[in-house]
A and B are shown apart, each in its own frame.
Chain A
Amino acid sequence: MSLQLDRRSEELRLRVVRRPLRHDSAAKHVAGSATFVDDIREPEGLLHIAAGGVPAASGQLLGVDLAAVRAAPGVVAVLTAADIPGKNDVGPVVHDDPVFVESRIEFYGQVVFAVVATTREQARRAAKLAKVAAAVGTHCVSVDDALAAGSHILPDCTFRKDDSAAALAASAHRVKGQLRIGGQEHFYLEGQVSLAIPGEDGDMLIHTSTQHPSEMQHLIAGMLKVPVSAVTVEVRRMGGAFGGKETQAAQWAALAALAAQITGRPCKIRLDRDDDMCLTGKRHDFLSDYEVGFDAEGRIQALETVMASRCGYSADLSGAINDRAMFHADNAYFLPAATITTKRMKTNTVSNTAFRGFGGPQGMMVAERAIDEIAWALKLDPLDVRKRNLYGEGRDITPYGMLVEDNILPALLDRCEVTSDYRARRRKIAAFNAQNGALKRGMALNPVKFGISFTTTHLNQAGALVHVYQDGSIHLNHGGTEMGQGIYIKVAQVVAEEFGVDADRVKILATSTAKVPNTSATAASSGSDINGWAAKNAAGAIKERLINFAAGAYDVVPSQIEFRDNRVFIGNQSVPFAELIRKAYLARVSLSSTGFYKTPKIHWDPATGKGRPFFYFAYGAACSEVLVDVTTGEMKVQRVDILHDVGRSLNPAVDIGQIEGGFVQGMGWLTTEELVFHADGRLLTHAPSTYKIPCASDVPEHFNIALWDGANREDTIYRSKAVGEPPLMLAISVFAAIADAIHSLNPDKAVPLDAPATPESILRAVQAVTS
């Protein structure tokens, strides 16, 4: 009871966190003065880089004639693998990503050389003069190709809970199916870009657009054969990233650094958009088979699934991404018995990579399809089947052995059902569908349960650096990178709260490996969680010194000192924050500190597939209604109601933006965004002319978002929850609603709808249920 009262009074004291403060770069963004890498005023003598690739998806490189390239106007240097002093590799985990092809060709357009020239145009024109000879081999493009050829990039992996085969056999009902789930291009609006500036003693400063400055630093040092300390990577902001600038920034940063080392001049590379789409990895597409056994009420008895993913030519992060697909194949549902397998297939395509959700969305799609299958088979309302299968008392162990302790979904789903007016609308939709032939409505209310933490346990650490200057202004660095998600303002709010000052007193500086070392990628939604705590710890260390100083100087006990409203209250008097800082400086108190944080409680044993990989879960639910023209396959999302759990929000404006944006991006993934490869391995959809990204008119006309108002039960930063990725999966409700609309055509058949639900995909499913 007293703990609750403490929490409540602590909550009332908060002045800066919880407030919907504007994005720290708001004024600069609307004025066009926010500097992205390509906007940095070009240094004297800057050279530009263009990469040259091989026009074949596989085989052996026989020779490269670069004579004409070298002779072209403006060319200063032409780089190949032979020019790399260290390792020809930018692979993040398994070292299988060459900067330049040496002999084996792995995908269409793979980089063989790079031209460094006085202008970008000269570099690009010169690159076209190369004569590349190759012995073309056989190749796999799709998951199906790779399955047929037995082409694996990593070993298969399986989670087992109880005897699922026996449980399936014992189930009253069983359904089998297959689901195809497409990939997704990140289309960060700012493409890949790097600017390298050589310094003295072989030092290198790289401005790049990446979510993972430390990894860029390490890989570049290895490639240049210099100590890591000689390389500094700095990131002020990115024009979007979404996972696509975690590992995929490395090759371009490496090219810029290599060119700068060899020429001794600053060098920049900015990928042309088509090249960016053709040469960088995307979300993994999956081909998933499943079989679910259930009782007469629709309760799952067992689930077996084999999920095969297109990983591309190298391992990249595919291991962890497939792991996360397995961690989310239950979504929000208790599986008494399960066998969950992923097959990590090697294809001769770009190396697929992190993308918001990191495999989780693909895993969750299987769980949600399985529930729909049950509802269709038993002619039950899908929401009722979902509710019956939620985790609950005594039904709370995941297939990977983690106890679900923080399950708020039963209450959250109930509330979303009420606020979306689910039952009444469902009746109206049934009436509408009974009266209309070509147009069918569909609706679905789906839960999301998303595990928060890097599943690679050691990555769950963060650092920060805080200085207080003599005028009371505060300097903040941490390992998180800003890609539009608002981490800078959130962490600044945490530091301002700690010192009891306004957020604008906290100067947010570019993320730099020189300020905070050995950071993890800003990924796994964990950025604000871990960097927020690290920054609080740094600020807290300084504050503790200030309290000790003030207690002595003013002869009060520490408990009588409070920092708030830009002042420090000491016993019966108060002084401006800056005044106390000045006094502390004169008294030789250190006003600078690092801070560190590591996520508690988590552990994972890959050998047994058991443990607690997640600190906690973030939850949400979305109810989507769609209108489908079953004669043309056209579809419109008409209304969406979201109820999402962000714990106690650090900044509700930022969090609501993440929910809206994540949902829209997820909707794009599952409806209009379709990647098409030619049989020869070329990506055919390499520009927004052929790859359809949601625009303003695609956003549902009625789009209602509410925040769940509970605190995180775990001790996260101010009891908030991560928000970057989970909302993306709320868009599965759109996909399920489309299937629901098609299902109205024939209630006796399951709907074999594949993602993305393009008009073609919708028509195929319509034909399947009506034939």
Chain B
Amino acid sequence: MARTVRAVMEAEPTAPAPEKLTVTLVINGRETRLSVAPWTTLLDTLRDRLALTGTKKGCDHGQCGACTVLVDGRRINSCLTLAVMKDGAQVTTIEGLAKDGALHPLQQAFIDHDAFQCGYCTPGQICSAAGLIAEGKAKTVDEIRELMSGNICRCGAYVNIVAAIQQAMGKA
């Protein structure tokens, strides 16, 4: 009872040669002018154009949090953000958290608490936690847990991640 089908993957509409747009981002304190295709995500801009590979691509759909960076101090999923949407913005990535050779309190706290295993989610966890602290909403452990729920750690190092954030909040 074999039936014959012609399955044709739907072709993308043939777009004209991509017009690039110029965008200026202040990345980790340094002003950077870039010419990018309008659909280029902030994540791909950071990783592929600027070699800032600390920010990771996990799911590319804004569901795992591995790509979290700070834009004007707020945490966002850089995979769901186009670079051109953030013209003129201040972008802080994991590479920009340490100041004058001293680790950010969250970085130190993550080391102190072994708050990672494979380390792939770690840059996103730390940037997300920095945003969380800046928001000032999380007062209790439960609130930290809830407000960090957008960052998946598949190794399950959550106990130590939450402990590290608590430590950093105490110092902040």
Contact = CB atoms under 8 A, between A and B. Distances in A.
Interface of A: 22-23, 25-36, 38-39, 41, 52, 54-56, 59-60, 62, 68, 125, 127-138, 186-191, 237-242, 272-274, 483-486, 653-654, 657-658, 660-665, 687-689, 693-697, 699, 701, 703
A128 B11 contact: yes
Contacts of A239: 56, 118-120
The 4 A-B residue pairs with the shortest CB-CB distance in the complex, in nearest-first order = A32-B54, A484-B118, A239-B120, A664-B156
Contacts of B55: 32
A168 to B, nearest CB: 40
B8 to A, nearest CB: 5
A664 B155 CA distance: 8
B129 to A, nearest CB: 11
B63 A189 contact: no
Contacts of B61: 273-274, 687-689
B152 A189 contact: yes
Given A136-B5, A660-B157, A25 B119 contact: yes
Contact of A31 (B2, B94, B120): B94
B145 A36 contact: no
B116 A32 contact: no
Nearest to B146: A697
Contacts of B54: 31-33
Interface residues of chain B: helix, strand, loop or mixed (majority): loop
A700 to B, nearest CB: 9
Interface stretch (B19-27, B70-78, B103-111): B103-111
Interface string B53-95: 1111111110110100000000000000000000000000111
Given A188-B154, A695-B151, A240 B118 contact: yes
A360 B47 CA distance: 40
B172 interface: no
B122 interface: yes
A751 to B, nearest CB: 27
A56 B4 CA distance: 11
A256 B29 CA distance: 37
Given A657-B114, A688-B64, A701-B142, 13 more contacts: A29-B116, A29-B122, A32-B55, A32-B122, A187-B152, A190-B120, A242-B154, A484-B119, A657-B155, A658-B117, A661-B156, A664-B156, A694-B158
B117 to A, nearest CB: 3
B151 A189 contact: no
A132 B103 contact: no
Contacts of B53: 32, 35, 38-39
B107 A31 contact: yes
A199 to B, nearest CB: 24
17 contacts: A22-B111, A23-B116, A29-B119, A31-B103, A32-B55, A133-B7, A189-B56, A238-B118, A239-B56, A239-B119, A240-B120, A240-B155, A484-B118, A484-B120, A687-B59, A688-B64, A696-B153
A654 B114 CA distance: 8
Contact of A131 (B2, B8, B63, B64): B8
Contacts of A36: 56, 120
A665 B122 contact: no
Contacts of A22: 111, 114
Contacts of A28: 119
Between B47, B58, B146, B155, the greatest number of chain A beta carbons within 10 A of the residue's beta carbon is seen for: B155
A237 B118 contact: yes
B120 A696 contact: no
B11 A189 contact: no
Contacts of B146: 696-697
B160 interface: yes
B162 interface: yes
A133 B144 CA distance: 52
Given A30-B126, A32-B55, A688-B64, A660 B154 contact: no
B154 A30 contact: no
Given A23-B116, A138-B1, A485-B117, A189 B58 contact: yes
Contacts of B156: 660-665, 694, 699
B166 to A, nearest CB: 12
A354 to B, nearest CB: 16
Between A129, A484, A660, A701, the greatest number of chain B beta carbons within 10 A of the residue's beta carbon is seen for: A484
B4 A699 contact: no
Nearest to B123: A32
A696 B51 contact: no
A41 B52 CA distance: 10
Contact of B6 (A34, A133, A662): A133
A30 B95 CA distance: 9
Between A23, A29, A486, the greatest number of chain B beta carbons within 10 A of the residue's beta carbon is seen for: A29
Interface in B92-145: 93-95, 98, 103, 106-108, 110-111, 114, 116-123, 126, 141-142, 144-145
Nearest to B55: A32
A62 B5 CA distance: 10
Contact of B59 (A54, A137, A688): A688
A272 B60 contact: yes
A125 B18 CA distance: 14
Contact of A664 (B11, B12, B158): B158
A560 B144 CA distance: 56
A27 B10 contact: no
B119 A34 contact: yes
Contacts of B159: 660, 699, 703
A183 to B, nearest CB: 16
Between B6, B55, B98, B110, the greatest number of chain A beta carbons within 10 A of the residue's beta carbon is seen for: B6
